[in-house]
Structure 1
Amino acid sequence: MTASPEIPWPDKRAAAALCVLLGSPRDLRQPAVREAAEAVRALLASDASTAELAAAYLALDTALRRTTDARGLVNGARGVTAPGVSPHLKVAVCPGPSGCTRVERARDLLPAPPCALHGTRMRKGRLGSAG
Structure 2
Amino acid sequence: MVASPDFSPSDGRTAAALCTLLGSPEDLEYPGVREAAERARDLLRAGADTGELAACLRTLDMLLRQSGDARGLAAGSRGGEVPGVAAHIKVAVCPGPARCTRVERARDLFPAPHCAVNDTRMHKGRLGTAQ
TM range (shorter): 0.5 to 0.7
The residue number in structure 2 matching 1:22 is: 22
Indicate yes or no: 2:57 matched with 1:54.
Answer: no
1:22-41 matched pairs, under 5 angstroms: 22-41=22-41
Q: In 2, distance between residues paired with 1:85 and 1:17?
A: 17
Residue 8 of structure 2 is matched in structure 1 by: 9
The structural deviation recorded for 1:8 is: 4.2
CA distance in 2, matches of 1:85, 1:126: 13
| Kept after mapping to 2: 8 A contact 1:9/1:57 | no
Distance 2:7 2:20 in 1: 19
Q: 1:8 to 1:18 in 2, by over 3 A?
A: closer
Task: Describe the superposition over 1:8-58 as per-residue Cα deviations: whole angstroms up to 9, x where unpaired.
Answer: 432221110000000000110113111110110111122111111111111
Which structure has the larger Rg over C-alpha atoms?
Answer: 2
1:57-97 CA distances to partner (integer Å, 9 max, x unpaired)?
111111111111111102433233265227xx57xxxxxxx
Identity, % of aligned positions:
51
Aligned to 2:63: 63
Bigger RCO (CA 8 Å, 6+ sep): 1
Q: Report the TM-score when normalising by structure 2.
A: 0.60
How many residue pairs match? The answer is: 94
Scaled by the length of structure 1, what TM-score is found? 0.60
Gap regions ≥5 residues in structure 2: 90-102, 106-126
Give the equivalent residue in structure 2 for 1:126. Answer: 129
Taking the aligned partners of 1:8 and 1:58, their CA distance within structure 2 comes to 7
